[in-house]
Amino acid sequence: MFAREDIQYEAIPLPDFHNMDDAEMEKAAKEFLEFMQKRHSVRDFSDRDVPQEIIESCIKTAGSAPSGANHQPWHFVAIQNPEYKHRIRLAAEEEERNFYAGGAGDEWLKALEPIGTDEQKPHLDIAPWLIVVFAQRHGQFDDGEKFKNYYVPESVGIATGFLLAALHNAGLVTLTHTPNPMRFLNELLGRPSSEKPNMIIAVGHPSRDAVVPFVAKQKKTLNDILTVI
């Protein structure tokens, strides 16, 4: 929670800059690329436990992301409790049944066919952790007065990317899930109506027989995603 005295501008020397020459930078960039190319969205989870400390460290990494006016408009709810996970599964599957019954439209359902998904979401029970990402429309000073947050979707998206990378770096697999609508999460998890549920992330270890859809390995080429001017 911010205090008003924390919002005054004060310049400090750049801390913690990792200075490398060009060769070191190229090597680091390629090594990180190779590492991140080994990240996969996994639907088949093991029930192997993951220590809470690991989840907390990864969420702290997410909390270090840049944000509009440094307002950090996010909140993460990490859920290990089996009862809460099951309640989320039941509510999410209800929304998914409506989605796959035609609520999504034929074009969207056709696009999902190569991914192999359906309304059944057992991973929401099996994965040892679910992390729900909330976007905050406004913040609050320590005296209780509210202030507006800026670039909320962009900021939360960046933080979520940090989180997924941190979880991969910790040797874990993830699956992002966005049932629509997701307002049931506010009531279930005790979050205020001013927060918008953005995503459910299942986190854990892959099962021994885990598979991924072949199409998930088909990524656009660099020429498809990059223009250099």
Whichever domain contains 66, its CATH number is 3.40.109.10
- Residue 76's pLDDT is what? 98
Q: What is the pLDDT of residues 147-191, one digit of tens each?
A: 999 999 999 999 999 999 999 999 999 999 998 889 999 999 999
Domain count across the chain: 1
Flag whether 18 is in a domain. Answer: no
pLDDT band at 137 (very low <50, low <70, confident <90, very high): very high
65, part of any domain: yes
Residue 215 covered by a domain: no
Considering the entire predicted model, what is its pTM?
Answer: 0.93
Work out the mean pLDDT of the chain and round it to a whole number.
93
Q: According to the model, what pLDDT value does residue 90 have?
A: 95
Is 14 inside a domain boundary? no
119 in a structural domain = yes
186, with CB counted inside 10 A (0-12, 13-18, 19+), is: middle
- 57 lies in some domain: yes
| Residue, of 100 and 220, whose pLDDT is higher | 220
Asked if the structure places residue 15 within a domain, the reply is: no
Count of C-beta atoms within a 10 Å radius of residue 115: 13
Looking at residue 2, its pLDDT comes to 63
**84 in a domain, yes or no?**
yes
Structural domain including 154 reads 47-208
